[in-house]
Copies of this chain bind each other. A is one copy, B any other.
Amino acid sequence: MPELRKDPVIGRWVIIATERAKRPKDFKVEKEELPEGPCPFCEGNEAQTPPEVFAVRKSQSKSNGPGWDVRVVSSIAPLLQGKGKADLGRRGKGMYDLMNSIGAHEVIIETPEHIANIADLEEEQIARIIDCYIERYSQLEKDPRFKYVLMFKNYGRPAGGGALKHARSQLIATPVNPKRAKEELVGARKYFEYKERCVFCDIIKQELEQKERVIIDIDGIIAISPFASRFPFEVWILPKEHSCDFFAMKPEHRRDLAGVIKRIMQKLKVALDDPPYNYILHTAPFRRAKAGYWKTIDLDYHWHIEVMPRLTRVAGFEWGTGFYLNPTSPEETTKILRETKIDSR
C-alpha cells in the first residue's frame, strides 16, 4: 500500500506510491535539440552581456574582458531591480497591499567554457562558484532594502532553463522574506520550541542511524533522499555540523560541498540520462534580520540545498492541495544513486 509521509519541517504530506514504483528508464525526459549560435556567456563574448558586477579573474585581466573563471552579471530581463535609491514604496490600494519591485537579479556564469551542466565542471571550479555566491551575498546584504537572497539553478528547458547551453545559476535579492522560505523558518522554529533541538540536525542524526536514505556522507557534508520527497530523485545536501547560514560557511567546508555537489550532479546525469533539474539554496535571511522576529534562528534553522530533477509534471492535484505524488520511493532513489558509477576525478 502506498504511504502518506509528512515532511517534518513544513508539514507537507506526500504520497509515496511504492506500488507503481518507477525506475529511471520509466521517466521520459523531453529532449530538445537547441540551436547552437554564438553564446553570450562564453569567454570572449563579454560585451554581449550586461556589465559584470563581480568576477573571479586571473591577475591582470580586465573587467568585462576575457581572463575570468566565474563571472556575475545583472540579468538582461531582471525580475527585480534596485537601481539608485528607489525605495520600497509599500502602500495600500483599498484592501490590497503592494510595493515597488525593488531587489536584484543576477546571473552567475559558472564557467568560461561552453559547458552546460555543472556535473561536468571540475571540483575546484565548483568551489570557485561557491566563493562567488558568498561574495555576492556579502555585498547584497549591505543594502538595507533587501531581506533575503535566493540562489537557484534552472537546468534544461522543462526546468525553466532557457535555450542557452551554458552553465549558470541565478541569484535574486528580495525585499520581503519569500513565503516558501518563511514556511520553513517557521516550521523549524516550532520544532525547536517544542524539542529544543534543530529539526534538520535530528533528520541528519536519524538518517545516519537508519542509513537507508543516505546517498553520500563525506567529511562535513551529507546528501540524502528526504523521507517525504516530493519528486522522484529529489536530493537534499546539508552540512552535518549545525549552521543556519550558508554564507558563513568555513572555507574548508566549501571544498567538501563542491565535491558532494559534483558527485550528486554526476550521479543524476548518469542515472537519469541528463535530466532537467532545479536546485535551490535554502538559507537564513540576512543576519541583521535576526535581531527581531528571527532571533533564535542561529539555533533552529539549518541551511541546505534541495535538488529536484524535473521528471514528472505538476498538475491540478499538487497545485490545489500542496500534496505531492511521488512514484519513486526515496529508499529506491538512494539505492539507485548509490550504485550509479561515476568518474571520481
Contacts and interface: CB of A to CB of B under 8 A. Distances in A.
B321 A101 contact: no
Contact of A322 (B2, B100, B178, B313): B178
A321 B11 contact: no
A3 interface: yes
A79 to B, nearest CB: 6
A314 B176 contact: no
B3 A98 contact: yes
Given A1-B101, A6-B97, A316 B160 contact: yes
A37 interface: no
Interface string A65-81: 00000000000010111
A279 B316 CA distance: 7
Given A95-B206, A100-B3, A17 B180 contact: no
Interface stretch (A45-53, A115-123, A131-139, A147-155): A147-155
B179 A317 contact: no
A98 B4 contact: yes
A308 B317 CA distance: 13
A193 to B, nearest CB: 15
A153 B280 contact: no
Given A95-B203, A322-B178, A322-B183, A313 B160 contact: yes
9 contacts: A13-B179, A15-B79, A95-B202, A154-B316, A154-B317, A160-B315, A179-B322, A278-B316, A306-B320
Which 10 pairs show the lowest CB-CB distances between chains A and B? A160-B315, A178-B321, A180-B322, A179-B322, A152-B316, A280-B320, A278-B316, A2-B101, A6-B97, A154-B315
